[in-house]
Amino acid sequence: MAKIEDLIAQIPDERLKKAIVAEVRELKKNKKFGLVFEEHLPETVRLPKMPVKEGELVAKKRESGNELWRVKSIRKGIATLEKAIEGYPKPSEDGIQAPVAELVVVRSFGDPIYPALMPVDRVERGGPDKPWHMLINADNFHALQLLLYAYEGKVDAIYIDPPYNSGARDWKYNNDYVDKSDSFRHSKWLSMMKKRLLLAKRLLRKDGVLIITIDENELHHLGVLLESLFPNSLRHMVTIVINPKGAGKKNFARTEEHALFCVPNNGQSLVNANFIKDLSRVGLTQELLQEEEDEELERNDVSAADEPLELPHDLTPDDLPFPIEELDQWELRHARRRGNESSYRHQRKNQFYPIYIDVKTHTVEDIGDSIPLDEEPSFKKKNGFTPVWPIDKEGNQRCWRFVPSSMRSLLDDGRLVVGRQDSVTGRWTLNYWVLKNKTTKVKTVWWNTRHDAGTHGTSMLHKILGRRDAFPFPKSLYAVRDTLLTVVGDKPNALILDFFAGSGTTLHATALINAQLGGSRRCILVSYNEPGEKAAKKLHKQGFFLGDPAFEAVGVSESVTWPRIKFVTNGKRDDGTVLKGTYIDLDGDPKGLRWADGFDENLEYFRLDFLDPDEVARGDSFKAIVPILWMVAACRGEREDSKGSTPWFIPKHSPFAVLIQEKQFRAFREKLAERKDIEWVFLITDSEENFSQMRRTLGRKYECHQLYKSYLENFRINTQDALKG
């Protein structure tokens, strides 16, 4: 018996005992298993480019941490400050003065800000047909929100390698390094991760996969967090030996870290081992695994053979829920269960319900609810649509393969289709599209020398950048490549995101996969520009702070991420030094591509800046949002600038168009007709009604977006909504 029950049993007063028992019962109902942490720790961001004005929340540049002030007034470059947080600092410190030059504007997460992508540098080596990879220098909380505007539900794989929170001051929370002595260390980390993962989840496609690498410091906390954030995903853990020699001061020498995979549980395998050619080397097995249990039954079932899978009409590309080129990767399956076991109504009572079809257009229109076992199915039409029940030729009541909610998501995905009509019974069959079974599976422990982070991470980075200790603990290029291969090896146009980019290994690995397998996989990296603690301290002493060019120059994205991806793409450093080395091939052969050959890829580097809408002239604000529109249009074609002073803007090389002067809609349409490649159209109007009307006129050919005339308002981020995820 639990302790509480023991104690209750000792209460002599029966009435009191009964009352307490009832209360405890209620309390137990509310108690749920899960992670308990202080998730309301506020997070702030410093915005060095924003002007310090009266009323602004500020911090002192020289101070680390989160001591905040409100600017009461400014006179001759000196600001008078008052405490910004109740009770702290002490009221007596109110009215203190500080030079404006020593202050930096701060925003709490939840206070809106206006982002703009500022181009910094680019590399063009992939030719006009390859989309552009991006590096965004920003705090990822802000970058993720901006990315949501462009890529909600569009990302195939997110690979992140967040700070491991080892207590070694390896990351910052509210402008302060988190160390071992911080009693909120784990809460801060979980709170930081949760905010970002909630946004990341929205970016993933329905079949998109999230991969997070981690070591023992936060592995278990992260596992429980993922369980609560991704309850419908399968969670797998791959252990990768990254340091065969072992590290650690006491008891054990750790050799491994882990990659947690969150894979949608949609009835099909999304991990494909076939793209890692040297299967035995990375611990894969060729062994064919059993298919789903009821598929086995189906093969033994004579009645299934009588009902070949057939569509009632010729297929056109419009009928398919995937591009026609991928047809050979998909197959049709019966939507009704077959076989002798687990396929009858009484065995799966929630899987007997009507599916409504339009018999003229041969389309599935609606999914009904399961009916109780004692209720007979109704064959009455609903809204003109014919109900189809899972009843076989002999009239036996069977069941559908899935419960109504799963069937509805198949319908939403366009994967549920009408099959043929039985000429005798008049009954329709229903089928669904499924990716062909991937029978080879990837084992969960990888032990291969090419995953050694020392040789293929730290030393490789040294050879690329030409300097030691540029970045702590970069991943082995091949560990990242092999991890990505499992989920995007068979997706030549996959969109991959890494928002804890560090030294940029993920983009390097993406380019290598494209080079080794062919394809135009695209990678977006986000990395903030915090330098390491030692370098930052030195610069602070010299009077340089975040936002100052001298400080920014030594930050991670500026001094490591961008140079690394630029040099490996060009095959040489900026000073002309040719990179010496060879990539290990997919079959494990170290005689593969030469580093010096670089990659046929296009890259663009942006800094995420925050604009003050009051200070930005109209033309400048249009110019500031154009890169965001280009990003929405899948970063295709060389990016062009515009100040928005013409009636419309249709860049020569990118597949998007912007109507700037609403009155010119008719002429704009004519222009659009001349450009067959346009897929995205942005219509600038403050009227929802006009937008809907223009959108209707343009038809379904384009993905249309409404933009408000005060351009920056369109991309306002950091609002309370973002915190809800």
Ligand X SMILES: C[S@@+](CC[C@H](N)C(=O)[O-])C[C@H]1O[C@@H](n2cnc3c(N)ncnc32)[C@H](O)[C@@H]1O
Select from 3-11, 103-111, 467-475, 568-576 the region that touches ligand X (CB under 6 A). 467-475
Q: Does 218 bind ligand X (CB under 6 A)?
A: no
Q: Does 579 bind ligand X (CB under 6 A)?
A: no
Least distance between ligand X and beta carbon 277 (Å): 23
In three-state secondary structure terms, 94 is coil
Least distance between ligand X and beta carbon 177 (Å): 11
The residue among 339 and 555 lying less far from ligand X, judged by its C-beta, is 555
Residues within window 359-418 making contact with ligand X, judged by CB under 6 A: none
Least distance between ligand X and beta carbon 477 (Å): 8
Least distance between ligand X and beta carbon 268 (Å): 29
Least distance between ligand X and beta carbon 167 (Å): 14
Q: Does 528 bind ligand X (CB under 6 A)?
A: yes
The residue among 337 and 456 lying less far from ligand X, judged by its C-beta, is 456
Select from 274-282, 357-365, 402-410, 497-505 the region that touches ligand X (CB under 6 A). 497-505
Q: Please, which residues have CB within 8 angstroms of residue 1's CB and are 6 or more apart in sequence? A: 9
The residue among 352 and 471 lying less far from ligand X, judged by its C-beta, is 471
Q: Does 191 bind ligand X (CB under 6 A)?
A: no
The residue among 150 and 479 lying less far from ligand X, judged by its C-beta, is 479
The residue among 45 and 418 lying less far from ligand X, judged by its C-beta, is 45
The residue among 530 and 604 lying less far from ligand X, judged by its C-beta, is 530
**Please, what's the b/e burial string for 611-650 (b: 16 or more CB within 10 A of its CB; e: otherwise)?**
beeeebeeeebbbbbbbbbbbbbbbbbebeebebeebbbb
Question: What's the half-sphere exposure (Cβ side, CA atoms, 13 Å) at 146?
Answer: 28
Among 140, 233, 514, 718, binds ligand X (CB under 6 A): 140
Least distance between ligand X and beta carbon 360 (Å): 54
How far apart are the C-alpha atoms of 200 and 463, rounded to whole Å? Answer: 33
Site string for ligand X, 92-131 (x = CB under 6 A): ----------------------------------------
| Position of minimal CB gap to ligand X | 502
Check: CB of residue 618 under 8 Å from CB of residue 134. Answer: no
In three-state secondary structure terms, 528 is coil
Q: Does 526 bind ligand X (CB under 6 A)?
A: yes
Q: Which residue has the tokens 């090389």?
A: 653
Q: Does 505 bind ligand X (CB under 6 A)?
A: yes
Residues within window 554-573 making contact with ligand X, judged by CB under 6 A: 556
Least distance between ligand X and beta carbon 503 (Å): 3
Site string for ligand X, 157-186 (x = CB under 6 A): ----xxx-------x---------------
Check: CB of residue 143 under 8 Å from CB of residue 717. Answer: no
How far apart are the C-alpha atoms of 146 and 409, rounded to whole Å? Answer: 27
SS (H, E, C) 249-277: CCCCCECEEEEEEEEECCCCCCCCHHHCC
Least distance between ligand X and beta carbon 16 (Å): 52
Q: Please, which residues have CB within 8 angstroms of residue 711's CB and are 6 or more apart in sequence? A: 618, 621, 622, 624, 625, 644
Q: Pick from 485, 497, 488, 518: which is nearest to 635 by CA?
A: 497
The residue among 81 and 192 lying less far from ligand X, judged by its C-beta, is 192
Least distance between ligand X and beta carbon 636 (Å): 26
Least distance between ligand X and beta carbon 518 (Å): 24
Q: Pick from 548, 546, 510: which is nearest to 528 by CA?
A: 546
Phi (first) and psi of residue 434, to 5 degrees: -140, 145
The residue among 254 and 695 lying less far from ligand X, judged by its C-beta, is 254
Select from 2-10, 197-205, 388-396, 499-507 the region that touches ligand X (CB under 6 A). 499-507
Least distance between ligand X and beta carbon 560 (Å): 8
Check: CB of residue 637 under 8 Å from CB of residue 124. Answer: no
Check: CB of residue 119 under 8 Å from CB of residue 605. Answer: yes
Check: CB of residue 67 under 8 Å from CB of residue 89. Answer: yes
The residue among 487 and 556 lying less far from ligand X, judged by its C-beta, is 556
The residue among 56 and 530 lying less far from ligand X, judged by its C-beta, is 530
How far apart are the C-alpha atoms of 506 and 502, rounded to whole Å? Answer: 9
What tokens does 40 get? 């309301």
What tokens does 389 get? 């029940």
Least distance between ligand X and beta carbon 329 (Å): 30
How far apart are the C-alpha atoms of 175 and 62, rounded to whole Å? Answer: 11
Q: Does 609 bind ligand X (CB under 6 A)?
A: no
Q: Does 475 bind ligand X (CB under 6 A)?
A: yes
Q: Does 655 bind ligand X (CB under 6 A)?
A: no
Q: Does 530 bind ligand X (CB under 6 A)?
A: yes
How far apart are the C-alpha atoms of 343 and 325, rounded to whole Å? Answer: 34
Residue 385's alpha-carbon distances to 113, 180, 357, 359, 388, in angstroms, are: 49, 64, 5, 8, 10
Least distance between ligand X and beta carbon 242 (Å): 11
Task: Provide the 8-state DSSP code for 211.
Answer: E
Q: Does 527 bind ligand X (CB under 6 A)?
A: yes
Number of residues that bind ligand X (CB under 6 A): 18
Q: Pick from 90, 48, 73: which is nearest to 530 by CA?
A: 48
What tokens does 401 get? 């393969």
Least distance between ligand X and beta carbon 565 (Å): 11
Query: Which residue ranges make up the site for ligand X (CB under 6 A)?
Result: 139-140, 161-163, 171, 471, 474-475, 500, 502-503, 505, 526-528, 530, 556
